[in-house]
Structure formats: structure tokens, C-alpha cells
Structure 1
Amino acid sequence: MTLELAVRFAEIILGFAIFQQSLEFIRGQQSEKTLGFIRIVLAILLMLGFQPLLVESALLVTAIMLIQRFQGPYNGGSDTMTMLVLLCLWLSHLAPSRYWQEIALGYLTVQLILSYFQSGWVKVVNPEWRSGRALQQVFALSAYPVSESVRLWARRPQVLLAMSWSVMIFELLFPLALFNQTLLIVALGIAALFHLANACLFGLNRFFWIWPAAFPVIMWFQSRLMSVF
């Protein structure tokens, strides 16, 4: 995948993610509604590919305004990832040369890889995760409005133990997918299914779109890496 194509695909997915996020502010206070409407329009323009540098600059300004309004990221990790993807794509347009474009997108790739690997490392050093008890508590005591059928999974410790180790192994081995294009595509497919499962089970729908927004960039990075080595 070429750099230009990776950026275009990433911007389309990012635009959809921001569009979805901005809908949450439509029922808020007037200042939040205004920012929400502005971001919806900007998200549509980003998906259409209209003046991406200007649109992403405006989105960065509105993102900073939201951070000030809520004294930090409104939705934690998903908002942080949104800022990261948006900032790196903006820098790729602002870059004075191809070299600095690749630096900006390469940084995004490294952060994406670390987001999975660090998550796996934090889990594997935790005895609660290694025993499956952590995932059991997630299902049993989730603060999200999940159904009773979902909570019943807490009564299946052996299944949750296998699920815990499957998640940890996948996250820890994710960086190795960079060494093979087919393996990377499979890994990204699994990652997308993982985010989809979290969206369906726990309502974490923001994560489903914003992490895949960086997937085209990592696919470009992998092909660029193979061309060097």
C-alpha cells in the first residue's frame, strides 16, 4: 500500500469515527452541541477528502476545546487515540518532505503496536489476569449496562481463563505481524473482531472505529519496512 493511499483510507475511517463520537454531544449543553455540529461537518469533509490539512487543523482545535471543556479526554483511551491518529495525519500533510511524512506515520505505527503490546504486558504480569479472575470480574461487575446473558459468562471460569490467555498472547505477539504481510492482515482482522466484541458486549463502540483508523498506516509501514530489509 502506498503512503498516499494509506493516508486517504485512514482519513475516511477517522472521519467516520469522529462523526460517530460527535453525535454524543448533540444532546448536551449548547456549547457542546455547537462543537458537536462543527465536528460532524468537519468529519464529513474529511471523509470526502476536502482540504485535509485545513480540516484536520480545525478538528485539532475543536479537540483541544473539548479537552478544556471536560478537563481531559471525554472518553479516555478512544479520545486519546483519536488525537494521536488525527495529529499524525495532520503532521503528514504539514511535513516539508517525504522523509518527514514517513516519520509522522511511522510514529503512529509504533504507537499502535505499543497500544496492543503494552496492554498485553500489563495483563500478563497481573496474577488476576493469568488466572482468569480479572475477566470474570469484568463480566460480573461491569459498570456498563450489559444484558444478564452477558453477565452469565462470569459463571464459566474455564472459558474465561482461555479467553484471557488468548487476548494476552495475541497482544504480546502482535508486533511480530510486521514481518509478514499475510500475518499482518490476519492480525488486524483479529484485532478488529476484538474491538467489535467489546462494542457488542460492553458498549465500547468508540474503540471499534478509531483503532482501525490506524490500520491502513500500519499496512503501509509494513510494506515500507519490507522494502528496506
Structure 2
Amino acid sequence: MGFDLAVRVTEVLLALVLVQQSLEQMAVDPAARVWLALRLAFCAALLAGQGWAVWGLMALGLWWLKRYDGPFNGGSDKMTLLVLACLSGVEAALALDRTFWAEMAFGYLAIQLVLSYFISGQVKLVNPAWRRGEALREVFLYSAYPVSERLRGLAERRLVTFWGAWVVMLVEMAFPLFLLHPLALAAGLTLAAGFHFSNACLFGLNRFFWIWLCAFPALIWLQGRLVG
């Protein structure tokens, strides 16, 4: 995937993600509807190919931090700001005809994506509760997320939680190795997407699924840049 195409795909995906987030947010924070409508306008501009719109979206993203005294939705909002910051850097560099720095900004997004998986796996691996499968068991047993009673029954299947925990840890720890070959990367991104999709279905973490997918084009581009 070429640089221009990867950036454009990321912009389109990000605009669609922010549309979804804005519509959800309107339902829980009606007082912010004017600002959310402005964000939707920036999203429309970005979908129409106006790259400068990411600067407006970035400014609104920083304003949300002040309004909610931190991220509105935790890790997914942090990832949203990361994607916005990197795309803002890309657009600024391109406006100054600095292609090298544009690629550096976009590559930074890819590296952060890899680290988000690798560090998460590392943290789990050093935790005895994760190695024994107890941490995953407690996710199903005590989670405040809307897990059905039937799914909570998985907590009693010790082999499922044990091997499930190890699969998650090993895939996350191995993520940097997926950069070695395009087919390996395709497999890694498929596993990652499946992981996020499962979390969306089981726990309602739908925002994580969409915003992490936004960063995938950056990693596909970087892998081709490094290995191709």
C-alpha cells in the first residue's frame, strides 16, 4: 500500500469512527451537541478529501479532554487522539512539502500500534494471574461490562480461560514479528481484528474495534516500506 493511499484510507476510517462516536456522545451529553455537530462537519470535510479538517478534529479532541477532565471513553479516546495527532503531523508536513517528516509522523502511528499490543502482552505475561488464566476468568466472572449470564459461565471452564489467556498473551508479544512478511502481517492484523471484534461482541467495547482498525493502514504501509 502506497503512502498516499494509506493516509487517505486512514482519514476515511477515522472520519467514520468519529461520526459513530459523535452520535453516541450526543445521546449521553446533549449539552455538547453544538460541538459535536461541528465535529460532524469536520468529518464530512475529511471524507470529502479536505485533509486540513484533521486540525479542527484535533483541536476538538483536546477540548474534550478539558470538558470531561480526561478521555471521555478511556483507551479508545486516547487512540483517537493519537491517530489525529499523527495525521495532523502528516498534513502539516505535506503542506510544507516535507515528505520525509510526513512519513515519520505516519510511521510513528504504526510503531505505536505495534507497541500497544506488545506492551499489553508483556504486562500480562509478567502477571501470575494471567499466566494461570485467573485474570481472564475474573473478566467473565466479575466484569461490569454487559456480559450475559451465559457468557459468565465461561469463567468456570478453566481450560478455556487458561488457553485463551495464553493465546492473547503470545499473539500480543509476537506482534513485532508480524512485520517480517506481508502474509505474517495479514495474519497478525486478522487476529488483532478478531480480538477487538470479540471484545465488542462480548463486552460492548465497540469503540476499540473501529479506532484500532484506523491505524492498520499505517502498519501495512510501514511493513512495505521496511521490507519491500
> Do structure 1's residue 155 and structure 2's residue 156 form an aligned pair?
yes
Deviation at 1:207, TM superposition (A): 0.3
> Do structure 1's residue 58 and structure 2's residue 59 form an aligned pair?
no
Aligned to 1:189: 190
Deviation at 1:41, TM superposition (A): 2.5
Aligned to 1:93: 91
Q: Map 1:168-187 onto structure 2 (within 5 A).
A: 168-187=169-188
- Find the residue that maps to 2:27 and give its secondary structure: coil
Deviations 1:155-182 (A, max 9, x none): 1111110100000000000000111011
Q: Map 1:78-157 onto structure 2 (within 5 A).
A: 78-95=76-93, 96=96, 97-157=98-158
> Do structure 1's residue 220 and structure 2's residue 221 form an aligned pair?
yes
Code of the residue aligned with 1:33 in structure 2: it is R
- Find the residue that maps to 2:70 and give its secondary structure: coil
- Structure 1 unmatched runs, 5+: none
Aligned to 1:37: 37
Aligned to 2:73: 75
Alpha-carbon separation, structure 2, partners of 1:36 and 1:186: 36
Aligned to 1:15: 15
Code of the residue aligned with 2:138 in structure 1: it is Q
Code of the residue aligned with 1:78 in structure 2: it is S
Deviation at 1:29, TM superposition (A): 4.1
Code of the residue aligned with 1:12 in structure 2: it is V
- Find the residue that maps to 1:75 and give its secondary structure: coil
Give TM-score scaled by structure 1 length. Answer: 0.95
User: Does the 8 A contact of 1:26 with 1:37 survive in 2?
Assistant: no
Code of the residue aligned with 2:193 in structure 1: it is A
Amino-acid identity (%): 47
Code of the residue aligned with 2:161 in structure 1: it is L
Alpha-carbon separation, structure 2, partners of 1:173 and 1:145: 30
Deviating above 6 A after TM superposition, structure 1's stretches of 4 or more consecutive aligned residues are none
Alpha-carbon separation, structure 1, partners of 2:36 and 2:136: 34
Deviations 1:124-170 (A, max 9, x none): 00000000000000001111122111111111111110100000000
Deviations 1:97-128 (A, max 9, x none): 11101110111111100000000000000000
- Find the residue that maps to 2:187 and give its secondary structure: helix
Give TM-score scaled by structure 2 length. Answer: 0.95
Code of the residue aligned with 2:21 in structure 1: it is Q
Deviations 1:2-51 (A, max 9, x none): 100000111111111111111122124443222222222222332232x1
User: Does the 8 A contact of 1:27 with 1:33 survive in 2?
Assistant: no
Alpha-carbon separation, structure 1, partners of 2:61 and 2:11: 16
> Do structure 1's residue 211 and structure 2's residue 209 form an aligned pair?
no
Q: 1:117 to 1:29 in 2, by over 3 A?
A: closer
- Structure 2 unmatched runs, 5+: none
User: Does the 8 A contact of 1:3 with 1:220 survive in 2?
Assistant: yes
Deviation at 1:61, TM superposition (A): 1.2
Code of the residue aligned with 1:144 in structure 2: it is Y
Alpha-carbon separation, structure 2, partners of 1:83 and 1:17: 12
Alpha-carbon separation, structure 2, partners of 1:99 and 1:29: 41
Alpha-carbon separation, structure 1, partners of 2:119 and 2:47: 31
Q: 1:226 to 1:41 in 2, by over 3 A?
A: same
